[in-house]
């Protein structure tokens, strides 16, 4: 085991909170702060460095605020995310992606840096909101992006960004439209578990930035390495080392940008790396079922955490109070959706589990509850922040049936028609 997974919450506290409502999410404020501090510290060699937290990973304002208060900005990609970032007075990066006009208008009004996903969006943005003085363009290198033996992105199959030719053309047009400061962005591989991803991406983007500057005489004020730094979901995996990653980026910076007389700020848009390990889904075992396989049924389901169902993602499971028991049983751990992929674990070796046990599903702090959905009419659960003083603060209440019914023309609770 390369890293021991531990529960954020004790069995006693978990019992108390789950008596109020189960399942629930819990986040560890102290660990979020420590990790964010390391990210800032690792990149402090770069004058303008800023992490724009990817809000889609976890939009709960209390969580985003922890990062914003530490100096992070927000990376947003929708109207509601813009509203959340703006309420927290965060500097904003707006990642366009099939963007409606009203979101460009909203982003521009908030003074967000707009990251254009496509060359055709230049005229679209000009028409709906006008071209700002600072703008970013998203690059897609095409083909495969190999980072290591077990790590590859496939940008050639991704819907994002502009081709190399288009980036040159986009910068040329934008310069003629009065843009003064340019940014360059790319996201070429996701959840990378190697310290080599950012340095390799940096080399590609820095080289392109020098060419853009030399060919078009533009001022490149920042380079955005985006997200993609992964976390070790499995205990046998080795976590990334943010200091090694930053050092690798620095070496590329000094060998490519410095000689070209350039000193752009480095931006990141980490989501997973900022939060995944510091949030857990806590769920109670409702049933044990013995048929052709052994099933443990719990009160959380894929609607609370869809990564296992959607990607077959591994999430480590701790049985609270049985941490030291031998893992001599093999279970499928399931939720209650009428959908057979609703499994948090398949053929997982675990200690003997009994009805009433509390399970902690690890590494659910990013792309966890934010991917939640309402299939089978399932409601989103409560979420708590474990504060640095050890107390628990409710940061998102559990949804009530009325929340779910609120958008229907016929209100199922009263039978009333809300509109004709
Ligand atoms: C999803 C996303 C991120 C964050 O990705 P992580 O894998 O969580 O680090 C950053 N930037 C953009 C544009 C994204 O779409």
88-110 pLDDT, tens digit each: 999 999 999 999 999 999 999 99
pLDDT, tens only, 107-163: 999 999 999 999 999 999 999 999 999 999 999 999 999 998 888 899 999 999 999
What are the φ/ψ torsions at residue 164 (nearest 5 degrees)? Answer: -60, -50
Same domain for 204 and 341, yes or no, is no
Q: Which atom of ligand 1 is nearest to the CA of 229?
A: 9
Q: Would you say residue 171 lies in a domain?
A: yes
Q: Which of 15, 11, 24 is nearest to 361 (CA)?
A: 24
Asked whether residue 420 carries a pLDDT value surpassing 60, the answer given is: yes
Ligand 1: residue of 228, 233, 366 to mutate (most ligand atoms within 8 A of CB) is 228
**What is the tally of structural domains in the chain?**
2
Residue whose CA is closest, atom 5 of ligand 1? 227
Same domain for 268 and 285, yes or no, is no
Q: Which atom of ligand 1 is nearest to the CA of 269?
A: 10
Say if residue 210 is exposed, middle or buried (CB neighbours under 10 Å; 0-12, 13-18, 19+). middle
Q: Would you say residue 374 lies in a domain?
A: yes
Instruction: Output the pLDDT for position 1.
Output: 53
Same domain for 250 and 298, yes or no, is no
CATH classification at residue 184: 3.20.20.10
Same domain for 117 and 215, yes or no, is yes
Asked whether residue 318 carries a pLDDT value surpassing 70, the answer given is: yes
Q: Would you say residue 20 lies in a domain?
A: no
Question: Helix 121-128 to helix 164-176 angle, to the nearest 10 degrees?
Answer: 30
Asked if residue 132 has its Cβ within 6 Å of ligand 1, the reply is no
Asked if residue 226 has its Cβ within 6 Å of ligand 1, the reply is yes
Last residue of a domain, one of 222, 246, 273: 273
State the Cα–Cα distance between residues 165 and 120, nearest whole angstrom.
13
Tell me the sheet residues that pair with 297: 287, 334
Last residue of a domain, one of 214, 249, 273: 273
Q: Which domain holds residue 204?
A: 29-273
Percent of the chain whose predicted confidence (pLDDT) is above 70: 100
- By the 8 A CB rule, do 333 and 237 touch? no
- For residue 276, what are its two tokens? 């995944």
How far, in Å, from the CA of 50 to the mean position of ligand 1?
15
Stretch 219-228: mean pLDDT: 98
Beta-strand pair 382-386/392-396: antiparallel
Asked if residue 56 has its Cβ within 6 Å of ligand 1, the reply is yes
Instruction: Output the pLDDT for position 372.
Output: 97
Q: Would you say residue 415 lies in a domain?
A: no
Q: Would you say residue 411 lies in a domain?
A: no
Same domain for 194 and 286, yes or no, is no
Stretch 331-348: mean pLDDT: 97
pLDDT, tens only, 153-209: 999 999 999 999 999 999 999 999 999 999 999 999 999 999 999 999 999 999 999
State the Cα–Cα distance between residues 193 and 241, nearest whole angstrom.
10
Asked if residue 269 has its Cβ within 6 Å of ligand 1, the reply is yes
Q: Would you say residue 414 lies in a domain?
A: no
Q: If you average pLDDT over every residue of the chain, what do you get?
A: 97
Q: Which of 185, 67, 181, 73 is nearest to 133 (CA)?
A: 181
In this structure, which long-range contacts are made by residues 176-181, counting pairs with CB atoms below 8 Å and at least 24 apart in sequence?
177/122, 177/126, 177/131, 178/131, 178/133, 179/131, 179/132, 179/133, 179/134, 179/135, 179/218, 180/133, 180/134, 180/219, 181/133, 181/134, 181/135, 181/219, 181/221, 181/222
Instruction: Output the pLDDT for position 177.
Output: 98
Same domain for 246 and 394, yes or no, is no
Percent of the chain whose predicted confidence (pLDDT) is above 90: 98
- DSSP class of residue 166? H
Q: Which atom of ligand 1 is nearest to the CA of 95?
A: 13
Q: Would you say residue 150 lies in a domain?
A: yes
Question: Of 344 and 151, which is predicted with more confidence?
Answer: 344
Same domain for 184 and 153, yes or no, is yes
Same domain for 282 and 269, yes or no, is no
Asked if residue 93 has its Cβ within 6 Å of ligand 1, the reply is no
pLDDT confidence tier of residue 48, bands split at 50, 70 and 90: very high
Instruction: Output the pLDDT for position 149.
Output: 81
Asked if residue 58 has its Cβ within 6 Å of ligand 1, the reply is no
- By the 8 A CB rule, do 36 and 72 touch? yes
Stretch 302-330: mean pLDDT: 97
Same domain for 184 and 224, yes or no, is yes
Instruction: Output the pLDDT for position 2.
Output: 76
Q: Where do the H-state alpha helices sit in 129-219?
A: 164-176, 197-216
Q: Would you say residue 3 lies in a domain?
A: no
Same domain for 143 and 257, yes or no, is yes
CATH classification at residue 301: 2.40.37.10
Last residue of a domain, one of 221, 250, 273: 273
Same domain for 210 and 234, yes or no, is yes
Instruction: Output the pLDDT for position 3.
Output: 83
pLDDT, tens only, 63-84: 999 999 999 999 999 999 999 9
Q: Which of 222, 148, 215 is nearest to 182 (CA)?
A: 222
Q: Which atom of ligand 1 is nearest to the CA of 270?
A: 9
Stretch 309-325: mean pLDDT: 97
State the Cα–Cα distance between residues 175 and 177, nearest whole angstrom.
5
pLDDT, tens only, 231-256: 999 999 999 999 999 999 999 999 99
Same domain for 81 and 121, yes or no, is yes
């Amino acid at each position: 085991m390369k890293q021991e997974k531990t529960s954020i919450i004790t069995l006693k506290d978990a019992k108390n909170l789950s008596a109020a409502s189960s399942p629930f999410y819990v986040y560890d404020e102290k660990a979020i702060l420590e990790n964010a501090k390391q990210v800032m510290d690792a990149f402090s060699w770069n004058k303008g460095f800023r992490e724009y937290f990817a809000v889609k990973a976890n939009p709960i304002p209390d969580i985003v605020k922890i990062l914003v208060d530490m100096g992070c900005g927000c990376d947003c990609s929708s109207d509601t995310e813009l509203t959340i970032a703006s309420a927290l007075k965060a500097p904003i990066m707006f990642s366009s992606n099939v963007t409606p006009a009203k979101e460009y208008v909203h982003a521009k009004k908030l003074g967000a840096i707009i990251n254009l996903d496509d060359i055709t969006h230049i005229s679209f943005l000009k028409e709906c909101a006008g071209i700002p003085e600072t703008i970013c363009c998203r690059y897609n290198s095409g083909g495969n992006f190999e980072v290591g033996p077990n790590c590859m992105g496939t940008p050639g199959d991704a819907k994002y960004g502009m081709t190399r030719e288009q980036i040159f053309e986009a910068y040329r047009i934008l310069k003629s439209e009065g843009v003064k400061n340019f940014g360059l962005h790319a996201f070429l591989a996701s959840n990378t578990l190697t310290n080599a991803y950012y340095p390799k991406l940096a080399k590609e983007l820095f080289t392109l930035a020098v060419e853009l500057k030399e060919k078009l005489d533009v001022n490149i004020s920042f380079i955005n390495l985006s997200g993609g730094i992964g976390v070790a979901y499995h205990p046998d995996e080795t976590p990334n080392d943010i200091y090694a990653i930053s050092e690798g980026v620095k070496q590329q910076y000094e060998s490519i940008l410095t000689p070209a007389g350039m000193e752009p700020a480095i931006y990141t848009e980490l989501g997973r790396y900022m939060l995944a390990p510091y949030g857990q889904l806590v769920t109670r075992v409702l049933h044990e079922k013995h048929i052709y396989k052994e099933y443990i049924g719990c009160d959380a389901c894929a609607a609370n955490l869809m990564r296992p169902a959607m990607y077959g993602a591994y999430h480590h499971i701790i049985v609270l109070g049985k941490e030291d028991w031998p893992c001599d049983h093999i279970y499928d751990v399931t939720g209650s959706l009428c959908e057979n992929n609703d499994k948090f674990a398949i053929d997982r070796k675990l200690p003997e589990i009994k009805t009433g046990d509390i399970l902690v599903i690890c590494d659910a702090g990013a792309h966890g509850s934010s991917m939640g959905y309402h299939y089978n009419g399932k409601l989103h659960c409560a979420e708590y922040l474990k504060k640095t003083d050890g107390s628990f603060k409710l940061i998102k209440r559990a949804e009530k049936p009325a929340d779910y019914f609120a958008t229907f023309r016929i209100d199922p609770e009263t039978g009333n028609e809300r509109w004709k």
